[in-house]
Structure 1
């Protein structure tokens, strides 16, 4: 079980060792290439000169954090909104989970509780929460009872529908193909209603 994204090796290592970095990457994985979203925590640490803590990001001056996110190349296509979302998530991590992002998942009693906790984070709707539960289960061994059910369609080992399934270049191709097919199907459905 490893997370092996097509990004800088140091960025991959940071995601492996830092639950906060993993959470930030997942927050940023929205309307943005996944390679850039999951590289952003490493880039953020380079810009700050160290790996930030949840407390540091929660207490950061909002305008200054937006400036860090917006510095070219921006950490997201919507730097102000995503800097605010990351900061809000860090406040939850500090206030509810003692400043440790990993506590969100390490103390969940079962898959339903894990899904509920993840769903309560800013920017995590049902689909994104299911993907994160699948990512935690498949790549990080976070497997409370019922985790696959909580991950929905993203839970099976052979789903190839999200970042949770990317272990090599071939898996990345399968995930991209699935996303293209899903997008085309949604477009066709919208046109049929039209």
Structure 2
């Protein structure tokens, strides 16, 4: 897998590049905080664990222990309690349904729709998050089963719409600008309704 540059922090980006579970956790955390901070979260968690960041290690923790790790300053997420629960549920699902192999979720997906279905079956991965992750896998990780762009929807197109399009600081700023414009359009449409 290529070296991702999603966070601007070399250690965090290296972990995301080398550890499929870390990449899934980063995507899971990408909610109600800055994208790059969400994807730094796995590195912070890895630093706080007594060993490598794996689904088995996280699933084996008592949920209250995991929440305590999320709350250590700087907190891993703005909502440490609920996000720790989601990460724990993700880890348990990966252990129980995928033999602890996070990459197995996408490694042998026959096509884009199957890949998206597998992702939406994971705790914390709704339709939009799954489409963004399909785009990230396709655009930056070489995971391109037939139909992946269609499964990713708008996020599979060229442009600067999500973390899937972030390759450096400049593209991060372009994605942020696109998201802000999208929110402004939605707010304007709601006001007109």
TM-score with structure 2 setting the length: 0.96
Please list the CA deviations of residues 78-98 of structure 1 after superposition, one character each: whole Å capped at 9, or x if unmatched: 111111101111111111111
| Aligned length in residues | 192
Match for residue 41 of structure 1?
42
Counterpart position of 1:141: 142
CA distance in 1: counterparts of 2:127 and 2:189, whole angstroms:
21
| Contact 2:6-2:13 within 8 A present in 1 as well | yes
1:160 aligns with 160
Measured after TM superposition, the shift of residue 55 of structure 1 is 1.0
Q: 2:169 maps to which residue?
A: 169
What whole-Å deviation, never above 9, does each CA across 1:59-78 have from its counterpart, x for those lacking one? 21011110000111110011
Name which of structure 1's ranges 118-127 and 13-22 shifts more when overlaid on structure 2. Answer: 118-127
SS state of the match for residue 124, structure 1?
coil
State whether residues 11 and 39 of structure 1, in contact with CA within 8 Å, keep that contact through their aligned partners in structure 2.
yes
Structure 2 distance, partners of 1:4, 1:42, is 14
Mapped contact 1:7–1:39 kept (Cα < 8 A): no
Separation of aligned partners in 2, 1:155 and 1:116: 16
**With structure 1 as the length reference, what TM-score do the two structures score?**
0.95
Counterpart of 2:192 in structure 1 is 192
Secondary structure at the counterpart of residue 50 of structure 1: coil
Q: 1:1-194, aligned counterparts within 5 Å?
A: 2-156=3-157, 158-193=158-193
